Structure 1
Amino acid sequence: MKLDYLQALKRIDDARGAWVLHGQEPLLEQNLIDAFRQSWQKQDIERQRYDISSVSDWKNVFNALNSLSLFSTQLAVEVHGNIKPDASSLKLLKSYLQQDSNNLLLVVMPKQDASSLKSSFFQTVEANGVCVALTANYPRDRQQILAVEAQKLGIQLANDAWQWLEQHHEHNLLAAKNSLMRVRDTFPDLEQIQIEHLYACLQDQSRYTTYDLSDALLAGNLAQSIKIFQYLTASGEPMSLILWSISKEMRLLMQLFEQPQNALQLGIWKNKVSTYQQAVRRLSPQTFLSWPALLLNIDAAIKGVSQDNPEQLVQQAIASLCGRPLFAV
């Protein structure tokens, strides 16, 4: 079964079997993942996460799906990566799907090309589970998605204001959501936002987004990266989305270090391959080894599980990605 983003949001509480999320829209990915995690917590479903760095990692995934802890009746296994199961793991997937299990396999992947979407893996999931394309290719789709975000914030936009917002951000959903938050904070008492309100609020902003942060990180520009990070936090960017962008780049660089010939298969755009390759050459293997623990610490700090300052930890991650000591800023 194929679902779009909005359809998927409505079915999260009943999700079972296998779901694959694939695309290049960070707002849609993060919203769905957050919704899944909230649903699992509400239903007391145990969650396990796996990052796929090699084909052999899939065996650990299916071993987990076939075994529950003593304190759980349902399990959600969240998988991140861009390596599809091989033939033997595909058999395990088919066996799992035939069990009519209450467990859920949620696979999160970057944008896939046409040939990948025709692979046995995607065909199996599409026939027996759910595939969700994290895309918003048309203005109507983007407006519907942003209308949901506006509703969460308790604001409404006039029809022509939607058109202005989309043109202003050149189809960047994440930046548009940030602007909705900014408008809400600037005009908290207005029932409907007009173009003049958007223009007054947004015309002078620097328009930095997490995409700009990613570009600065890959370029190794520490000063610019810290500047963008400080702007994002000051403008209300959720720390979880900033972490998502940082962890995405870290995962891609670690995977490219291990598989230097597979840049395109890892989901790196062709015009970005040389940028990622230069970043890998700039970094040491020891740096890559330190990242998983650092990301876990940041996640714990953001959730309030630890006493660490999440902003300080994120700045450490930014410095590490740039391959430079933090005090050099």
Structure 2
Amino acid sequence: MKIDYLQALKRIENAQGAWVLQGQEPLLEQNLLDRLRQYWHSQGIERQRYEIQSVSDWKTVFNALNSLSLFSQQLAIEAHGNIKPDAAALKLLKEYLQHNEQNLLVVVMPKQDNQSLKSAFFQLIEANAVLVSLNAPYPQDRQRILSVEAEKLGISLDNEAWQWLLEHHEHNLLAAKNSLIRVSDTFSEHSQITTEQLQACLQDQSRYSLYDLSDDLLKGDLASAVKIYQYLLATGEPMSLILWTLSKEMRLLMQLYEQPHNALQLGIWKTKVQQYQQALRRLAPQQLLGWPSLLLRIDAAIKGISSENAELLSLQAIAELCQAPLFQMKN
């Protein structure tokens, strides 16, 4: 079955079997995963996360799905990566879909091209599970999605304001959501937002963005990246969005190291391939090994699960990406 983001939101409570999320909209991925995690937490469903960095990692995922802990009756597993199962793992996936109706496997992948979507893995998912497209190709789709975000904030926009917001941010839903948050904070006494209010709020807030941070991380410009990071913190950028940016760049670089000739298939834009390749040449393979655990520590700190400082850990991740670790191990 193929569904879109808004349809997926309505099916959270009935999610079972396997869901594969693929697309290029970070806001949609973040929102959908947040909603799933909230539901799992409310129902006492155990959650586990795995990074798919090689085909062999799929065996670990299916072993986990078939072995509940003593304290859990249901299990939800997130598998993040862009490596599809091989024939042996596809057999395990088929067995799981046929016999395990309680647990849920959520596979999170970057946007796939048409050829990839015709592979055996995606055909199996479409026929026996759920394929969620995290894309919003048309202006009306983007407005519908952002209208839901505006409603959460207790605001609405008139037609002219919607047109201005969509044109101002082009296809960037994440930036558009941030603008809605800022305008709702700035004009908290207003429920109906006009174009003039949007312009007044955003003209002073457009100095730096998460995309500027991404560019500096790929360039390895530590001084500029730290300056932008501090600006984002000072202007109220949510830590979860900063983590998403750090995670995206780290994961793409880790995947590109494993698959150096598959940059486009990994979801890297053609115009950015050279930047990622240059960044990878700058980095030592041993650095990459510690990134997944660092990202998990940042996530736990943001959620209050650990006592560590999320801002300092994020700064450490920025330094790692720029090949300037804040802490060096002594022999």
User: Normalized against structure 1, the TM-score is what?
Assistant: 0.96
Take 2:8 and 2:103, find their aligned partners in 1: how far apart are those partners?
17
Counterpart of 2:230 in structure 1 is 230
Q: Distance in 1 between matches of 2:11 and 2:235?
A: 32
Match of 1:133 in 2: 133
Of all paired residues, the percent bearing the same amino acid is 72
The aligned counterpart of 1:220 is 220
Look up the SS of the partner of 2:83 in the other structure. coil
CA contact (8 A) 1:186 1:201 kept: yes
- Partner of 2:85 in structure 1? 85
Q: CA deviation at 1:267?
A: 2.5
How far did 1:152 drift? 0.7
Alignment correspondent of 2:322 = 322
Distance 1:211 1:312 in 2: 20
SS at 1:154 equivalent: coil
**Mean Cα deviation higher: 268-277 or 255-264:** 255-264
Residue 29 of structure 1: aligned partner: 29
User: Following TM superposition, by how much is the alpha carbon of 1:66 offset from its aligned partner in structure 2, in angstroms?
Assistant: 1.1
8 Å contact from structure 1 (residues 178, 236) kept in 2: no
1:220-245 CA-to-partner distances (Å, cap 9, x unmatched) read: 11122122222222232221121111
Q: Structure 1 residues 65, 227: closer, same or farther in 2, change over 3 A? A: same
Q: In angstroms, what is the RMSD of aligned CA positions?
A: 1.4
Distance in 2, matches of 1:208 and 1:144, equals: 27
Please give the secondary structure, in 2, of the residue aligned with 1:262.
coil
Structure 1 residues 207 and 98, CA gap change in structure 2 (3 angstroms): farther
SS of corresponding position for 1:131: strand
Partner of 2:285: 285
Q: Does 2:19 align with 1:19? A: yes
Equivalent residue for 1:94? 94
Distance 1:212 1:65 in 2: 39
Per the alignment, residue 303 of structure 1 pairs with 303
Q: Does 1:163 align with 2:163?
A: yes
Matched, 1:177 2:177: yes
Aligned to 2:106: 106
Distance in 2 between residues matched to 1:131 and 1:207, nearest whole Å: 38
Q: 1:145 to 1:207 in 2, by over 3 A?
A: farther
**Matching residue's letter, 1:126:** E
Counterpart contact for 1:183–1:198, Cα < 8 Å: yes
Cα distance in 2 for partners of 1:104, 1:235 equals: 38
What is the SS of the residue equivalent to 1:71?
coil
For 1:97, what is the secondary structure of its paired residue?
Answer: helix
User: SS of 1:22's equivalent?
Assistant: strand
1:182 touches 1:235 (CA, 8 Å); kept in 2? no
Aligned to 1:123: 123
Residue 48 of structure 1 aligns with an amino acid whose one-letter code is Q
Instruction: Quickly say closer, same or farther: Cα 1:171–1:102, change in 2 above 3 A.
Output: same
Q: Aligned to 2:13, what secondary structure does the other structure show?
A: helix
Q: Secondary structure at the match of 1:125?
A: helix
Three-state SS of the structure 2 residue aligned to 1:109 is: strand
TM-score, normalised via structure 2 length: 0.95
Residues matched between the structures, number: 327
